[in-house]
Structure 1
């Protein structure tokens, strides 16, 4: 159903039972308060003006226009927008309304002949997978498209145990042992994500079609045979993390060690996923230093130096934010450290005092929600994030600040622990992950 109920929990892998060491941040970084259930297509608004440059006046009726607009981005529209450039390939992204999801998705081809698959894009995990036949209702979640049939592809191949590709899964916490049948021993993968969903199956290779005439041969992926937990109706997941299993790592020889995306605000427009660097055309970006976590190459981490509401800097001790924030396209809501969130919530409520507070939204697990009934226009304060090194971005208003009339942040982690910047806050920015230069760039108004 278009614009329906969607799960919005974390999509970073968290497999405690699948060969992971103690104190892995995939289980320690965020408590269950980030496991959200959210309504798709919540906001679709037009900024009409400003107030001393620190507030934006938004038409109230435009908050409710997304249900009419979000269905206009069809699979055909997305496929028609695929483009090539000297720097690489650019694939349209869209909110997953067609698969009942608030996650962002792309449509790719897999197999020979190529079969279209709509997959979630996730910078918080590495191994890509799709659900595969045979898969009955007790083994797989319902998806909108037909299951991928590996037997119908001339280029599908399983990966045997014992080779380096299978051994690498152990190092990156994706290993699920080997098959024990009478035939050859085959490599199995297994992932449990932060929202509790699980996928297991055969680690395999296949031809991946990024765009007409643009293929990746022998692309390593998971042919999912058993999926459980909260999943929407997408066909699988496209891993964009930093480990060797990710799409980004597998195509680095063709496109280099950089990629970017723009996540549209949900007003019927398409964004993009671009493999390759934008060349020297980076004047409109601001850049923040990026680092990796020790012994875990998946995550892209930046450090917040401060947060502003309505142009006023919040009083947050630097130590609270010192462990950094993972930039995760596969998590919907940003999880701040508790002290930082408390300061943000207090300042935001003060700036929005003209509007009555509603009780916390239990379904969304958000606690700063408003009743805008009777208001034709709503004045929303700008929320700005400042990163180490001084780069500052103003989140899009309202799509990057409000979700279902609620402040789209939560106190998801303890002080002095790592947080997550979710996809709502990233809306309309081109986010450029340049691992070669060790930074993340942000270009506003890119989609």
Structure 2
């Protein structure tokens, strides 16, 4: 018999597609293009150490959270990269539409935006939150607070748990109280607020009764943008829109203010994208239902096949092991035993370059190199060999953090070495962050439960 979670998920998906069908009867353009943008705010190349420390700390915080936290037209939206390693898209909510910048995050599962002039962000790494744009529900005629009787009023961390109406008497169907407030955990930070049902507006298309979080307070957030969860959950943007797949191609991290953008594509079609290699998504382990896990057979550095025990490459029933792909994670992550195997081989193949031990100590990354005096640099490819035969080749110049002005570079993968005495830590053993996805067209085929990818200049 199907579980209540499965039934609720199916009902919600059907509801989303019925809403989509009802909103798609008019003439709709074949594609809708909106700018995917990097979150860079300044050029840190003059202070590479501070920048490395910032991203390494943020990446370790995020890896800790991820490991321990519980036939229609295309819609193209522009995707912009940002200085904390993220990428954003502009989305418009309400009537009339209010446009905000949303961080694209495949490692989280809720769409939310700051929604009050009294929005507070405690110990956050940006200036006064009152100066940043908010979504103001008071200015929208389509705004509706999610009621406690609504089937969508469920626990965001456990969608099979309906929050109900604790303030109502008995089973009264006339109770009009709102759904209880949510509290979301992100790395070392959090966000809390209440849910709204709103219109999300694209040129030529409007999706009605979209579930969006109205965040009233947050703490320790690294960004001022709103957040769009793209994870495997009924609350995510792609699932609510009923798309069959979504895709992006991330621009190179140049660490500067850039107006260059790529596209985020929301696709309702069934057709297979020509030229892609595919790797199947795995069934999620019990403790991590929202992530995109991939089956990895082997990892190579250059032409060298690494001997990594299979327990680290495939998630077990105890929720340990496996590889997840995460657009919101700047650097990658490898659990200590995997990290040691990979970096030992990397050091062998790059032995002709001088190690910068001082930079390693100060940045917390290893290995780091000083390339002063070298006219050309050769960094071996990092190759993921997925079950099923597909290979993802990550060129060395893409996955290393390079600072040409200072002639230094570091391997941007963090680990729990020195911070955890367990040989096999809970959660994914490998997190494939967005640095390793640069200059790849990456497609999340939700209908067929697989990841498609191909190298290309974004």
* TM-score normalised per structure 1: 0.75
Contact 1:91-1:273 at 8 Å conserved across structures: yes
Out of 280, 291, 297, the position equivalent to 1:305 is 297
Distance 2:248 2:348 in 1: 34
Structure 2 unaligned spans of 5+: 1-40, 45-50, 169-174, 316-321, 404-408, 418-422
Aligned with 2:347: secondary structure? helix
Distance 1:151 1:363 in 2: 48
Contact 2:295-2:313 at 8 Å conserved across structures: yes
Residues 174, 317 of structure 1: alpha-carbon distance in 2 compared, 3 angstrom cutoff: same
Structure 1 unaligned spans of 5+: 15-24, 30-84
1:27-55 Cα offsets, whole Å, 9 max, x none, are 179xxxxxxxxxxxxxxxxxxxxxxxxxx
Matched, 1:242 2:232: yes
Matched, 1:434 2:445: yes
Residues 140, 117 of structure 1: alpha-carbon distance in 2 compared, 3 angstrom cutoff: farther
Matched, 1:410 2:421: no
Contact 2:245-2:443 at 8 Å conserved across structures: yes
Matched, 1:420 2:419: no
Q: 4+ runs of 1 displaced by more than 6 Å?
A: 173-181
Residues 402, 309 of structure 1: alpha-carbon distance in 2 compared, 3 angstrom cutoff: farther
Matched, 1:161 2:136: no
The count of residues paired between Structure 1 and Structure 2 equals 372
Distance 2:269 2:442 in 1: 11
- Offset at residue 177 of structure 1 (A): 8.8
Contact 1:106-1:121 at 8 Å conserved across structures: yes
Structure whose alpha-carbon radius of gyration is higher = 2
- Offset at residue 111 of structure 1 (A): 1.8
Residues 328, 266 of structure 1: alpha-carbon distance in 2 compared, 3 angstrom cutoff: same
Structure 2 residue aligned with 1:342: 340
Matched, 1:191 2:174: no
Residues 262, 440 of structure 1: alpha-carbon distance in 2 compared, 3 angstrom cutoff: same
Residues 139, 175 of structure 1: alpha-carbon distance in 2 compared, 3 angstrom cutoff: farther
Distance 2:64 2:145 in 1: 23
Aligned with 1:370: secondary structure? strand
Aligned with 1:90: secondary structure? strand
- Aligned-residue Cα RMSD (Å) equals 3.1
Out of 273, 287, 294, the position equivalent to 1:282 is 273
Q: How does 1:343-358 map to 2 (within 5 A)?
A: 343-358=341-356
Contact 1:259-1:434 at 8 Å conserved across structures: yes
Out of 264, 277, 281, the position equivalent to 1:273 is 264
Distance 1:277 1:339 in 2: 41
1:283-338 Cα offsets, whole Å, 9 max, x none, are 31111121131445311100221111122111222233222111111111211232
- Offset at residue 200 of structure 1 (A): 0.3
- Offset at residue 411 of structure 1 (A): 2.8
Aligned with 2:152: secondary structure? helix
Structure 2 residue aligned with 1:386: 385
Matched, 1:399 2:391: no
Out of 88, 113, 132, the position equivalent to 2:74 is 88
Residues 277, 330 of structure 1: alpha-carbon distance in 2 compared, 3 angstrom cutoff: same
Distance 1:246 1:341 in 2: 31
Structure 1 residue aligned with 2:374: 375
- Offset at residue 216 of structure 1 (A): 1.8
Residues 443, 406 of structure 1: alpha-carbon distance in 2 compared, 3 angstrom cutoff: same
Matched, 1:27 2:20: no
Q: How does 1:167-178 map to 2 (within 5 A)?
A: 167=154, 169=156, 171-172=158-159
- Offset at residue 184 of structure 1 (A): 4.9
Residues 225, 177 of structure 1: alpha-carbon distance in 2 compared, 3 angstrom cutoff: farther
Matched, 1:118 2:101: yes
Contact 2:154-2:163 at 8 Å conserved across structures: no
Residues 13, 376 of structure 1: alpha-carbon distance in 2 compared, 3 angstrom cutoff: closer
Aligned with 1:259: secondary structure? strand
Distance 2:132 2:161 in 1: 26
Structure 2 residue aligned with 1:45: none
Q: Which structure carries more strand by proportion?
A: 1
Contact 1:159-1:204 at 8 Å conserved across structures: yes
Residues 384, 363 of structure 1: alpha-carbon distance in 2 compared, 3 angstrom cutoff: same
- Offset at residue 170 of structure 1 (A): 5.9
Distance 2:43 2:296 in 1: 33
Distance 1:119 1:180 in 2: 33
